[in-house]
Chain A
Amino acid sequence: MADLEILDVRKTFGDIEVLKGIDVHAPSGSFVSLLGASGCGKSTLLRCIAGLEAVNSGTISVGGEDVTGLAPEKRRLSMMFQSYALLPHMNVLENVRFPLRMRGKQHGTKTAQRELAVHALEQVQMDHLASRMPRQLSGGQQQRVALARAIVGDPRLLLLDEPLSNLDARLREDMQVELVSLQKRLGLTTIFVTHDQDEALSMSDQVILMRGGVVEQAGTPEELYARPATSFAADFLGAANLLSVTSDGVRRARLGSAVVPTPTEFSGDVNLMIRQEDLKVNNAEGLDSTVPAVVTARVFRGSELLLVLDAAGQEIRAVAPVSTAAEPGTEVTLSWNSRQSRVLAK
């Protein structure tokens, strides 16, 4: 168990700067997600931590030890790959024992190593398949084996590269829960790379949102969701409406013909962020902001409706109770509490 400290890490591939000065701190035992779209640098950063890529500048420290220049095998951390990367010529037990074998003496005799490996397999309920070959396992089973291999022998850091993305939706939810509980039980400092904001929000102690090789925003899931610092963060984390508004005086914004209050002062053209679930349709009770809108589409989601509306030429999405009368073409009013909206630079 150790903390991870990344200071001003830069990395270029040829002429392209992929990481443009990244700072991350993951406290010991925490679950930290690197979240972002593909190409944002999150996977490269993980590979730099693992030692699979050399950084151009900056430092990476694990448990206070500078590992920046160390070969991957000397960093004493473990990484789980999206493809699981189980060694096809070894059975499940040998796969899980492999890191112990490679790290050598500190893990004792062959028998001791096997006991540790079996223990790790027990943690993921795979001990009964210890003698199978990887190709005889299902995708979900392979993943559990890969997880067992990643946690065996107390790595200082557990690096997970989109480990859940190859699973179907149901299995994936189960694994999210199981992975977090395992991580908490073992107290493993975990760095988790994902492009899925739900996954990042639901599993992490801390989310690091990346964009174009820089950290866009870092914080707890709650902080990021409730108080996105930028339009990008607002859009990426959860379904948010970003309405283009112009200044209409102190804490007031003009949206088409309507004027609405804003939580903060601003000037010029900005985005006003309102979460879908904060909008009310034809119900302004206790709310200080209202605009007229026309329903353009209605999507039934079982427990609720998703409405797509047009307000002064801008598209707005809102969730409403199933009982709401909102056939396409219906004129409605949309209301919200200005304290739940945020003014964000464009």
Chain B
Amino acid sequence: MNKSRTEPWLLVLPVMALLVIAFVIPVASSLIASFTSTGSPGFTLANFSDFFESSVHLTASARTLRMAFIQTIASILIAVPLAYIMSRLSARARVVMMIATILPLMTSVVIRTFGWVILMGPSGPLARIPGFLELSNSHQGLLGTELGVNIAMVQVLVPFAVLSVLGVINGIDVRLQEASRTMGASFLRNFWHVVLPLALPGIVSGATLCFALSISSFITPNLIGGAQLPVIGAFIYQDATVNGDLPFAAAQAMLMLMAVLITIAATNRLASSRMK
């Protein structure tokens, strides 16, 4: 056997092993489980037909996808200018900004979300704004509203978006931007015509990451949106832990995975056609 050909494989072996143990096997067993039923032996499509016959699950799916799209777009809209500004700062200021961006990731999502619950609720500072409480029909301000969930989720997602966009923007040759400025592009037109197209790979990967994180989240939607705005992640959790119906939970998880994969394929296709 040729040594130079086997050595690279040895290097990826740990990653491959981890991938198989932590991803391939669980996903495969979930896939198999999704075609079984707790009550009866053999393969069945019952879990999927149950899902598509349940208006609650369909509504929750639509809500999950809708919120994931909104949150992804909002996160990218915030992250791209932020990452661009960060890339233009001095090294020291960039470190400060970097820490400020990453710091929220160091605290638990639950803690952060409780912060939002207080901020968005009837005893928070925003409640003093006339009409704020009426944003939800239960007079809970932003609690129990999709807007509230979206705001809290965007706060969770923006650091991920910033990090993936910043990685790409930092790699853009600064002389391209200087050249564009000397060629008559203003700050904004340079951003639009040069930075944005070149940052597209980072934006696509950031958006994909945000979308996948958003679609699978259930802690923040649960705490802010509550039981009345269920998302698919919450149903999966409920069916797996409370109802003990693992096959149905697995079926929902597979549908969610499919939604993510389709989105990734679509965005990658879109991006590669744009970059050609």
Contacts and interface: CB of A to CB of B under 8 A. Distances in A.
Verify whether A and B have any Cβ pair under 8 Å.
yes
A103 B185 CA distance: 7
A177 to B, nearest CB: 25
B183 interface: yes
B182 A52 contact: yes
Nearest to B198: A89
Interface stretch (A73-81, A110-118, A331-339): A73-81
B110 interface: no
Given A73-B186, A88-B198, A89-B198, A52 B181 contact: yes
A72 B178 CA distance: 9
Contacts of B181: 51-52, 71-73
Nearest to A89: B197
B227 interface: no
- Which bucket holds chain A's interface residue count? 20 to 34
Given A85-B173, A87-B180, A89-B197, A102 B275 contact: no
B184 interface: yes
Given A73-B186, A89-B197, A89-B275, A102 B178 contact: no
A123 interface: no
A73 B184 contact: yes
A87 B173 CA distance: 10
Given A83-B175, A85-B176, A77 B198 contact: no
Contacts of B175: 81, 83, 85
Contact of B183 (A52, A71, A149): A149
B194 interface: yes
A83 B172 CA distance: 13
A78 B194 CA distance: 17
Contacts of B193: 98, 102
B66 interface: no
A50 interface: yes
A89 B192 CA distance: 13
A211 to B, nearest CB: 26
B177 to A, nearest CB: 9
A163 interface: no
A235 to B, nearest CB: 32
Contacts of B173: 83, 85
B189 A102 contact: yes
Contacts of A78: 182-183
A99 B178 contact: no
A52 B198 CA distance: 21
A159 B182 CA distance: 10
A195 B246 CA distance: 73
B189 A79 contact: no
Contact of B182 (A73, A83, A89): A73
Contacts of B176: 85, 87-88
B202 to A, nearest CB: 14
Contacts of B266: none
A81 to B, nearest CB: 5
A242 to B, nearest CB: 38
Contacts of B178: 50, 52, 72, 79, 81, 85
A99 B197 contact: no
A293 B155 CA distance: 81
Contacts of B194: 87
Contacts of A85: 173, 175-176, 178-179
Contacts of A103: 183-184
A73 B179 contact: no
Contacts of B180: 87, 98, 102
Nearest to B200: A89
A51 B185 CA distance: 13
Interface in B183-232: 183-187, 189-190, 193-194, 197-198
A95 B190 CA distance: 13
Contacts of A88: 176, 198
A116 to B, nearest CB: 14
A98 B176 CA distance: 12
Contacts of B179: 79, 81, 85, 87
Contacts of A87: 176, 179-180, 194
Interface string A31-56: 00000000000000000001110000
Interface string B153-189: 0000000000000000000010110111111111101
Contacts of A159: 182
Contacts of A83: 173, 175
Contacts of A81: 175, 178-179
A98 B275 contact: no
10 contacts: A50-B178, A50-B182, A51-B181, A73-B186, A77-B182, A78-B183, A79-B182, A89-B198, A98-B193, A159-B182
Interface of A: 50-52, 71-73, 75-79, 81, 83, 85, 87-89, 98-99, 102-104, 149, 159
Q: Which 5 A-B pairs have the closest CB atoms?
A: A102-B184, A85-B179, A99-B183, A103-B184, A72-B181
